[in-house]
């Protein structure tokens, strides 16, 4: 099981392009689905609740070049057979580095295996939700 908090954080553009594989992490608020599906996201897919809202962590993995090449391209992330989210890296490398969304994933990368992350709700909430709440 992979712990995001233990992955090396990418701190500069030079470091980003020097690693073999990267992990892009973000969180999305899930809206417009019924409560039962929200409960499944929380219980089965590392989703979490904060102030009545449901959030789901999103991950993109691959080489730095592929992440940049696919910038602004929506990549569907299927949640079982009943829910699909579109994940997108907007291409703003400095923004992603500033908000601590990029990690060196070289050691854990396996091309065709599913990602199995430890649930680190407090880290995800602190880094990817609270700074953006109004």
**Domain ranges, ordered by start, for the chain:** 4-132
Per-residue pLDDT of the chain (134 residues; tens, 9 = 90+): 889 999 999 999 999 999 999 999 999 998 888 888 888 889 888 899 999 899 999 888 899 999 999 888 877 777 766 677 777 788 899 999 999 999 999 988 765 566 688 889 999 999 999 998 86
Contact 87/60 with Cβ under 8 angstroms?
A: yes
């Amino acid at each position: 099981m992979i712990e995001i908090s233990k992955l090396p954080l990418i701190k500069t553009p030079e470091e980003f392009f020097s690693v073999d594989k990267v992990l892009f992490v973000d969180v999305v608020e899930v809206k417009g689905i019924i409560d039962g599906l929200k409960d499944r996201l929380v219980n089965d897919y590392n989703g979490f609740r904060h102030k009545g809202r449901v959030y789901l962590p999103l991950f993109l993995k691959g080489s730095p070049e592929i992440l940049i090449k696919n910038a602004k391209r929506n990549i569907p992330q299927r949640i079982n057979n009943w829910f699909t989210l579109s994940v997108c890296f907007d291409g703003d490398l400095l923004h992603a580095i500033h908000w601590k969304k990029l990690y060196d994933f070289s050691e854990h990368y396996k091309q065709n295996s599913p990602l199995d992350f430890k649930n680190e709700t407090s880290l995800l909430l602190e880094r990817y939700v609270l700074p953006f709440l109004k």
